[in-house]
Structure 1
Amino acid sequence: MSIGELGLGRYPPLLVLNENASVLEVLAGMAEKRVRHCPLVSDEGVLVGMVSARDLVDFLGGQRYRSIVQNRFKGDIYEALTKVRASELSRYPAWVTEDTPLTDVLARFIELGVGALVIVDRSKRVRGLLSERHVMSLFANATTYVQVREIMSRELVTAHPHEPISKALELMSRHRVRRIPLQSGGKLSGIVTVKDVLGFLGSESSLKRLSAGEGESLLSTPLQSVASYPVLTVDAGEDVGKAVSIMKNHGVGCLVAVDGTGAPVGIVTERDVVTRLPRVRGVELFTDLVKAAVFASRVSF
């Protein structure tokens, strides 16, 4: 069964911009739509690139911030946002068509380890967007016989609630993560996601402050002001199927993994489920086309 027959994905994507759009337009669009990917198209609607939230994080607080914002625009974030074209940050993305079989789509996600695939027609015009969350929605809430610790990321990048947004941008860019749990006194007190950060920086009020030259003040905003609460957790020894159930029920893309004492020891994300779980030794995927569901289970140890 193809993804088109399953109706899997979003048609059309919430955010699509012309290749001549500015980085400012991408930031404002991602903030308004609460999305992480923006396909770029030619005047004819043909796919020519894509900008991700990670690209914007790098532009606002990583290597591109230093090479573009600081070196070319003397640290003027707003001028850089308005004058740099989104195409300068983009790359040509992986894509599929509506008639691509679900099994092939799963293989593409596992092989490439990407967060989204653009759905195009035969002329490469953008039709939709398929994210890891769309794919994970197909995973059944069933026992996998795989523990969370086997697929989670053990490097847990954290920050203090009082640290500034600029710190989150730096950490996200350096460690290539999209979520930063906040810790105070050894306890979890919130979590900041890339959507939280870009949603704040790309809001109308924040853009007005940037245009008025208040970039430094804006980036000094404490993380607790933009964080999401509460932090959802799962025991690192729990079955991955339980983690999938929690994420789907709460509409979130990650859980902080904790040990028996409640101390955080890692983080498990929807991408881990989609791309790492199938790679665990002994795990096989079974696709039930009648139920439009994917079952992952360890069949050998």
Structure 2
Amino acid sequence: MTQHVSDIMTSAPVTVEPQTSVTAVARIMRDQDLGAVLVVDGDDLRGLVTDRDLVVRAVAEGGDPEQTTVSGACSDDLVTVTPEDEVDRAIELMREHAVRRVPVVENGHPVGIVALADLAMERDPDSALGDISAAKPNT
């Protein structure tokens, strides 16, 4: 049976505007236990920022995280899928582009995100990655 991205994606992704400070985004990630948020301009997807992006592209550069905006830390060369795409397409894109998360869009507007962890829990829940992905965070 064909499985679609809509079957496993996280719906209603957390989004921020490009001018949001790195500190504010880090707090959102901490408070909502997220590793990534989508960057939007109005309803249009503009980027994706991960916790690693915040550290490598913002904090490590030495700028003030209260003054540095997420627009400089986010990835803006995105690959995306639609909810109707097959899960295998998302996997193919993740492999091809070496990414762990792919935004899900409809007409350019973000409606979800599919992560490597989602795929691991769905496809191989007994694997080490599936176990780790399903575990509560150790914060």
Q: Which residue among 105, 110, 113 is the counterpart of 1:264?
A: 110
CA distance in 2, matches of 1:256, 1:271: 14
SS at match of 1:264: strand
Contact 1:256 1:264 in 2 (8 A): yes
Superposition pairs of residues 222-237 of structure 1, within 5 angstroms: 222-237=69-84
How many residues matched? 126
Contact 2:39/2:47 (<8 A) preserved: yes
Kindly indicate whether residue 17 of structure 2 is the aligned counterpart of residue 145 of structure 1.
no
Question: Among 155, 165, 170, which residue is 2:22 paired with?
Answer: 165
* 1:137-165 per-position Cα deviation (integer Å, ceiling 9, x unaligned): xxxxxxx7111011111130000001100
Q: TM-score, normalised by structure 2?
A: 0.81
Q: Partner of 2:133 in structure 1?
A: none
* Conserved? CA contact 1:232–1:255, under 8 Å: yes
CA distance in 1, matches of 2:59, 2:109: 34
User: 2:115 is aligned with what amino acid?
Assistant: T
Cα distance in 1 for residues equivalent to 2:44 and 2:124:
32
Structure 2 match to 1:81: none
Percentage identity across paired residues of the two chains: 24
Q: CA deviation at 1:183?
A: 0.5
Structure 2 Cα separation of the partners of residues 202 and 223 of structure 1: 11
CA RMSD of aligned residues (A): 2.0
SS at 1:219 equivalent: coil
Q: Whose Rg is larger? A: 1
- Which portions of structure 1, spanning 4 or more consecutive aligned residues, are displaced by more than 3 angstroms? none
- The AA in structure 1 aligned to 2:91 is V
Q: Which has the higher contact order (CA 8 A, sep 6+)?
A: 2
Shift of 1:237: 1.0
**How far 1:202 sits from its partner (Å)?**
4.8
On the 8 A contact 1:233/1:256 being kept in 2, the answer is: yes
Question: What is the rounded CA distance, in whole Å, between the counterparts of 1:264 and 1:202 in structure 2?
Answer: 27
SS at match of 1:200: helix
Contact 1:151/1:277, CA 8 A, preserved across alignment: no
Equivalent residue, structure 2, for 1:240: 87
Cα distance in 2 for partners of 1:187, 1:263 equals 5
Q: Residue type matched to 2:89 in 1?
A: K
Equivalent residue letter for 2:48:
I
Unmatched runs of 5 consecutive residues or more in structure 2: 126-139
Distance 1:176 1:258 in 2: 22
Q: Pick closer, same or farther for the CA change 1:150–1:277 going to 2, 3 Å.
A: farther
Give the TM-score of the pair, scaled to structure 1. 0.39
1:227 partner amino acid: C
Counterpart-to-counterpart distance in 2, 1:277 and 1:183: 30
Aligned-partner Cα distance in 1 for 2:24–2:118:
25
1:161–1:222 contact (8 Å) kept in structure 2: yes
- Once residues 94 and 5 of structure 2 are traced to their aligned partners in structure 1, the CA distance between those partners, rounded to angstroms, is 13
Contact 2:58–2:73 (CA under 8 A) maintained in structure 1: no
2:99 is the counterpart of 1:252: yes
